[in-house]
């Protein structure tokens, strides 16, 4: 499945008539919070790592990313492509600590 296919299928379960950008932003934050709460419990409270649950939460974050992309009038694949282009500009030879610490503000 491509990201665009996912985005189209996810929209089947997204209610019409609401601000998709706002719904995406709120949803991403909420689901990311659930994701990090699981990691926190593993790291600091002795819980066992539940990868199944983390994968579910990651999928929920992706759903809301798709929602936000629709709100912006772009596809997930376009968002992914733009991110890769930014990373290639920022780290043309791959990540380095030096480049990370000495990059231009906003870059």
- pLDDT tens-place string over residues 9-27: 999 999 888 999 999 999 9
- Domain boundaries defined on the chain: 3-74
Would you state the pLDDT for residue 106?
Answer: 61
pTM, whole model, 2 decimals?
0.88
Look up residue 44 and give its two tokens: 């600091």
Average pLDDT, integer, range 32-48: 98
Where do the H-state alpha helices sit in 1-107? 3-10, 20-45, 51-72, 76-90, 97-101
Look up residue 20 and give its two tokens: 């998709």
**15 neighbors 38 (Cβ within 8 angstroms):** no
């Amino acid at each position: 499945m491509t990201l665009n296919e996912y985005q189209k299928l996810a929209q089947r379960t997204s209610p019409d008539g609401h601000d998709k950008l706002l719904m995406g932003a709120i949803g991403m934050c909420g689901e990311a919070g659930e994701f990090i709460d699981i990691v926190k419990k593993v790291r600091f409270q002795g819980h066992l790592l539940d990868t199944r649950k983390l994968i579910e939460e990651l999928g929920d974050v992706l759903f809301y990313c798709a929602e936000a992309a629709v709100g912006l009038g772009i596809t997930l694949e376009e968002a992914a492509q733009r991110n890769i282009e930014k990373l290639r500009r920022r780290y043309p030879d791959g990540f380095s600590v030096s480049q990370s610490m000495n990059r231009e503000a906003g870059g």
